[in-house]
Amino acid sequence: MKGRGLHVYAICYLLFLYAPILLLPIFAFNSGTVIAFPLKGVTTQWFVQMFENASMRKALFNSLTIAISASVFATCLGVFAARASTRFEFPGKGPIMGLIMLPLVLPEIIVSISLLVVLLSIGVQLNILTVILGHTLICMPYATVILSTAFNSLDRSLEEAAYDLGETRWSAFRLVILPLVMPGIISSLLMSFTISLDEFIIAFFLAGNEPTLPTYIFSQLRFPKQIPMIMALGTMLVLMSIILLTIAEYFRRRGIAKTGAKDTGGFL
Amino acid sequence: MTTPSSSTAAHRARTAAARPMIEIKGVHKHYGDYHALRGIDLTIRAGEFFSLLGPSGCGKTTLLRTIAGFEDFADGVVLIDGQDMDGVAANSRPTNMVFQSYAIFPHLSVAENVGFGLRRDPRSKAEKAAAIEEALEMVGLKGYGKRAAHALSGGQRQRVALARALILKPKVLLLDEPLSALDRKMREQMQVELIKLQRQVGITFVLVTHDQEEALVMSDRIAVMFEGQIAQMDGPEALYARPTSRRVANFIGVMNFLPARILAETASGVEVEVPGLGRVEIPAANISQKDAGDEGPSVGFRPEAVSLVSASQPGQSRVTPGVIDEVVYYGDMTYYDVRLDGSASFDGKARPVRIAMRNVFGRDVQDVGTRANVSWSPGSLVLFR
Amino acid sequence: MATGNRSQSAQGLTLIAPPLSYALLVMAAPLLTILAYSFLKDGYLTVIREFTLENYRAVWSDPIVRTIMLRSLSVAALVTLVTVVLAFPVAYFLSFVVAPGRKAMWLFLITIPFWTSYLIRVFLWKVILGYNGVVNSGLKTLGVIEQPLGFLLYNVNSMVITLAHAYAPFAILPIFIALEKIDRSLLEAGRDLGESRAMTFWRVTLPLAMPGVVAAALIVFIPTIGDYVTPALIGGGKIPMIANMIQSQMLDLDNRPLGSALAVTAMLIVAVLSLIFVALNRRFLKVRQ
């Protein structure tokens, strides 16, 4: 059977995709100090070491601050962009939307270096604010895509019906549109949060002396002694991402079910 | 609220004399270069069940949305109950709409949907709840209030949409293709219910539809629209029996057309010669002055206005012999295409006419090729000159 | 709403203004600054405001730049090829074999690794392929090899594996979407007209899936060229790609005009190659309508 061969291939492919991620927890709980087989024994000391590490905690705090701010800003901007693109026709719509979506395909090195050069030349101090600036930019296209799906699956006459029944433009938005796109907003917040939390390049260039989790990890990779703790940290990060994504996916699907539209696919 | 009328005829007589509810004068609407409405003049009377009928893209929905206040228009006047609607937004107009998709808010319950427009109503919560229950009862959904809106069937959604609009007691209820999403059985049932409901509440209904049957069944009057203009405005019977243009005739049901040569104007009509039918005097009421098109004058008649008879019958009707060309059997009806003797006498072109016969017990279906007599009367002919 | 076309566009523009201004300020303005810098003179630690083409001359004549640029291009091309070829059967499987109700779950499974930390995934490949890494230590434990294999890490192959892994979901999704759009009766028609399964795939499925393949190739190729982390970690810093070079010119050597010219050149090359690639596939893309 042709289908069976493909099935086996697809499962092998999934294994290839997941191989590195599956190794993470294995070595995070391995008591050996070297990341190699054979495994030594089970331990939680790396997690303990991680939580006792002050710079790690600082990095975590920074990362959370950045991720929360960037996801809120990106989602707000995304609401504007999604609403404008799904509901209105205006001159230059194509190029304007293209520009807003551009960070999706632009190499991050270009985004971060050019932003860095400008920030340095106008004398802005690099700190977590500048990282938030960059992360908001790269999260904005994702937020726009997610929110556009949410806005798009809305029947336009719902809004008109509210208007027809005596509501104003703003109260129609508040009473009808907002509750219906709320799952999309939550999904967008979680997704942007995940992207920001994992993002390395922009944080690396724009954070100045402030560590974020990825830049902290990068700085520790040079020290073999720290690797087991990094594995523990990585396990936490991956776990967090998966949980957030699952919640985001749940809300995305619920949003589609709520408006009675058909599910047309995943995240992208 | 008016009492339900005893008959459709009485209802129509009353509404025909009622005050104008909607007056539209010279309304134009452009979408960029596209001229969607080209000078609409229309008066709809209080209590009327009025339909805008036409093919898709004819501007009927645009006109309805113009009345609702969802569309700006270039020039012209829209009055509702004597009030100029210029500058009055949709949320302040005395109209409510039943949308084609019903636009039931999926995140609210049935009762919350129906009570949506009561948010600014000063009445107490209990009074509002009673009003909602009353509205639900009116559309046959008593006790459905607590249900989730997204779990409703198509027919139920439509009833919720009706209740939601009617609870606000609008002067005009606008219905945008309200039955198009329902299956045939449901549609026919809702047609009857809508008429009953309209008589009961006494509100002016304006319905948009592309389904000629729907318009004929429900309306007191119908405006047929093509390309942003009203082609004809009449009651259902007049519209069907005496269309004023070939286009309207073709859009509403089937009509046979035969070329006509005009012989003389007489005191009571026009005398014409028609191949196959011979010399006929068409009564003045059946003469359309409007649109003969490029094809020249012609006479038209409906398939069921003529019949196949075995021999000549006494009375006003005349009989023309012919040959059966085609037989299409529909169960309750049989359609015959009959080539009338002498029908090609003008230009040598054969023009079979379609005749619809009800299949009553004891009447055999005729075969192709057999000779038949077609009975017709001058009063059922319409002249397009 | 009671609005005409003019106020329609006015409302649209009002709504789009905040995200547009943000994109202009934080992205477009810096990109234009880079473009401007690339035509200015470098005066150590400062930029002299004087128009020159010297930076571009330097970029285009420098053999090191050429080597690195070619390496970036060939690594990206190789990664694109490997990724797309490996991804196609998975997309095909998802679209044609998986039951409709389970597609969302498969897609979710495939996209999850993509959303986990890129840095950690890249680093894990280093752990897997390293001299004392998972593969070598595993093989040694099993007695397959005596000495660790040295060719696993710090070379182009390991970079290709890592990047192909990183961009896998990127390639699967566009191909999957293109395959989903294919009307299934077309395939039955192909079979009905006497073609074998393989020929139907070759003559019907593949041409119709081509727009997705092109999109997948571009979506992998463009970010791969600009990748910074993989050469730094997997290449051990010894096999830099263009991103690493831009970074060192801009920051380590602080020659902003030259770094800018490098960045602009890289972007131009990518844009031109992408356009050529799309143009070559025009006849496939035409099918889309």
Query: Do residues B233 and B280 share a domain?
Result: no
pLDDT at residue C45, rounded to an integer: 64
Rounded to an integer, the average pLDDT of B322-342 is 90
Long-range contacts of C178-187 (CB under 8 A, 24+ apart): C178/C208, C178/C209, C178/C210, C178/C211, C178/C212, C178/C213, C178/C215, C179/C91, C179/C92, C179/C94, C179/C95, C179/C96, C179/C205, C179/C209, C179/C212, C180/C95, C181/C208, C182/C95, C182/C208, C182/C209
What CATH number is associated with residue B267?
A: 2.40.50.100
Question: What percent of the residues of chain C are helix, what percent strand, and what percent coil, each to the nearest 5?
Answer: 80, 5, 20
Query: Do residues B219 and B321 share a domain?
Result: no
Domain hosting B203: range is 8-94+170-241
pLDDT at residue C1, rounded to an integer: 39
Query: Do residues B287 and B360 share a domain?
Result: yes
pLDDT at residue C183, rounded to an integer: 82
Rounded to an integer, the average pLDDT of B108-137 is 92
Distance of CA C155 to the CA centre of its chain: 19
In a domain, B101, yes or no: no
Give the number of domains in chain A. Answer: 1
Query: Do residues B76 and B200 share a domain?
Result: yes
Residue whose C-alpha is closest to residue A16's, from C83, C194, B335: C83
Domain hosting C236: range is 63-288
Query: Do residues B285 and B188 share a domain?
Result: no
User: How far apart are alpha carbons A103 and A78 in whole angstroms?
Assistant: 13
Give B-chain residues touching A166 at CB under 8 angstroms.
Answer: 91-92, 117, 119-120, 168
The more confident residue out of C154 and B250 is: B250
% of chain B exceeding 90 in pLDDT? 49
Give C-chain residues touching B70 at CB under 8 angstroms.
Answer: 1-2
Handedness of CA B314, B320, B324, B330 (dihedral sign): negative
Name the average pLDDT for chain B: 88
The more confident residue out of A74 and C188 is: A74
Name the β-bridge partners of B376: B318
Rounded to an integer, the average pLDDT of C68-96 is 90
Give A-chain residues touching C104 at CB under 8 angstroms.
Answer: 253, 263, 265-266
What CATH number is associated with residue C247?
A: 1.10.3720.10
Give the pLDDT confidence of C214-249 residue by residue, as tens digits. 888 888 888 888 888 888 888 777 788 888 888 888
In the numeric block, the tokens 């131009």 are attached to: C268
Decide if pLDDT at B220 tops 90. Answer: yes
In a domain, A174, yes or no: yes
Residue whose C-alpha is closest to residue B120's, from C272, A172, C276: A172
Q: Retrieve residue C255's tokens.
A: 């020659």
Query: Do residues B232 and B265 share a domain?
Result: no
In a domain, B156, yes or no: no
Decide if pLDDT at B63 tops 90. Answer: yes
Give the number of domains in chain C. Answer: 1
pLDDT at residue C284, rounded to an integer: 56
User: How far apart are alpha carbons A212 and A56 in whole angstroms?
Assistant: 9
Decide if pLDDT at A262 tops 70. Answer: no
Give the pLDDT confidence of B125-139 residue by residue, as tens digits. 999 999 999 999 999
Give C-chain residues touching B72 at CB under 8 angstroms.
Answer: 2-4
What does pTM read for this prediction?
0.79
- Final residue before a domain boundary, out of B241, B274, B300: B241
Query: Do residues B344 and B210 share a domain?
Result: no
Query: Do residues B41 and B78 share a domain?
Result: yes
Q: How far is CA A145 from CA A139, A142, B59, C158, in A?
A: 10, 5, 34, 33
Strand B75-80, strand B20-31: pairing: antiparallel
Cβ–Cβ under 8 Å, residues B351 and B344: yes
Residue A263 dihedral angles phi and psi, to the nearest 5°? -75, 125
User: How far apart are alpha carbons A165 and B166 in whole angstroms?
Assistant: 10
pLDDT at residue B82, rounded to an integer: 92
Q: Is B103 at the interface with chain A, CB within 8 A? A: yes
pLDDT at residue A264, rounded to an integer: 47
Decide if pLDDT at B162 tops 90. Answer: yes
Query: Do residues B317 and B185 share a domain?
Result: no
H/E run at residue A172 = helix A169-172
Give C-chain residues touching B89 at CB under 8 angstroms.
Answer: 1-2
Q: Is B151 at the interface with chain A, CB within 8 A? A: no
Give chain A's contact residues with B (Cβ, < 8 Å). 155, 157-158, 160-168, 175-176, 179-180, 258-260
Give the pLDDT confidence of C12-26 residue by residue, as tens digits. 899 999 999 999 999
Query: Do residues B337 and B273 share a domain?
Result: yes
Cβ–Cβ under 8 Å, residues A84 and C16: yes
Domain hosting A84: range is 41-258
Query: Do residues B233 and B279 share a domain?
Result: no
Query: Do residues B261 and B356 share a domain?
Result: yes
Give the pLDDT confidence of B278-292 residue by residue, as tens digits. 888 888 888 876 655
Determine the distance in angstroms separating the CA of B163 from the nearest CA of chain A, rounded to an integer: 12
User: A touches which chains (3+ CB pairs under 8 A)?
Assistant: B, C
At residue B2 the predicted structure's pLDDT band, cuts being 50, 70 and 90, is very low
Among the partner-chain residues B31, B32, B69, the one whose CB lies closest to the CB of C2 is B69
Rounded to an integer, the average pLDDT of C52-73 is 87
In a domain, A123, yes or no: yes
- C residues 24-43 near A, CB within 8 Å? 24, 26-31, 33-34, 37
Handedness of CA B62, B68, B72, B76 (dihedral sign): positive
Rounded to an integer, the average pLDDT of A247-251 is 82
* Strand order from edge to edge, sheet including B75-80: B34-45, B20-31, B75-80, B83-84
Alpha-helical (H) ranges within C24-150 are: 29-37, 54-61, 63-92, 100-115, 118-129, 134-142
The more confident residue out of A42 and A93 is: A93
H/E run at residue A78 = helix A54-87
Give the pLDDT confidence of A198-218 residue by residue, as tens digits. 889 999 999 988 999 999 988
In a domain, C280, yes or no: yes
Determine the distance in angstroms separating the CA of B105 from the nearest CA of chain A, rounded to an integer: 6
Decide if pLDDT at B87 tops 90. Answer: no
User: How far apart are alpha carbons C104 and A253 in whole angstroms?
Assistant: 10
What CATH number is associated with residue B191?
A: 3.40.50.300
In a domain, C29, yes or no: no
Query: Could A258 and B90 be called an inter-chain contact, meaning their C-beta atoms sit closer than 8 Å?
Result: no
Determine the distance in angstroms separating the CA of A110 from the nearest CA of chain C, rounded to an integer: 7
Neighbours of C193 (CB within 10 A): 10
Give the number of domains in chain B. Answer: 2
What CATH number is associated with residue A214?
A: 1.10.3720.10
